[in-house]
Amino acid sequence: MIDKAFVGRVLPRFEVLAECGAVSAFLRATAAPGCQAAQEGSQLPPTYLFCLEMQGPDPAAMRKLLGIDIGRVLHGEELFVYHAPAHVGDLLAFEPRIADIYDKRAGELEFVVRETRVWRGETAIATLRNTTVVRNG
């Protein structure tokens, strides 16, 4: 069982630049209608903040901290709450924390909820919630 004492634990803050080339590749890969190349200052696609979060120094930091075997992991859900738009060329700060840990089916499934606040300077951009499901059966 994952130790619920980790609830509330804040992971290291990091910054990522929303680079034009990477955003353009994302747009092509997701076949965004009418948009094949990003331009400096254009608004980021709605789910792109998750891609930026995965560019942090250690995308597996939470999983390592909690001792979770990647072979038992399922993607649960994601939720994006936007407070302000983010743009190509923005330097964004990500502040992840473990928001909740709970189980179902007598521990056969464990759920870890990571909540990440995203900032551009002093401006709150978004709150990302990601639920990881761990199979124990």
Q: Domain for residue 111, yes or no?
A: yes
CA distance 106 to 132: 17
Q: Domain for residue 1, yes or no?
A: no
Residue 35 has pLDDT above 80, yes or no: no
| Domain total of the chain | 1
Q: What is the mean pLDDT of the chain?
A: 92
Q: Domain for residue 75, yes or no?
A: yes
SS3 4: helix
For the record, the structure tokens of 94 come out as 């990500």
Q: Domain for residue 87, yes or no?
A: yes
Global pTM? 0.88
Of 128, 23, 53, the closest CA to residue 83 belongs to: 128
Q: Domain for residue 80, yes or no?
A: yes
What is the mean pLDDT of the segment spanning 17-39?
76
Domain membership of residue 93 as a residue range: 8-17+43-135
Q: What is the pLDDT of residues 83-92, one digit of tens each?
A: 999 999 999 9
Residue 34 has pLDDT above 60, yes or no: no
Residue 55: CATH number of its domain: 3.10.129.10
Q: What is the pLDDT of residues 70-119, one digit of tens each?
A: 999 999 999 999 999 999 999 999 999 999 999 999 999 999 999 999 99
**61-71 b/e with 16+ CB inside 10 Å = b?**
ebbeebebeee
Q: Domain for residue 57, yes or no?
A: yes
Q: Count CB atoms within 10 A of the CB of residue 60.
A: 11
Percent of the chain with pLDDT over 70: 94
Q: Domain for residue 62, yes or no?
A: yes
Q: Domain for residue 36, yes or no?
A: no
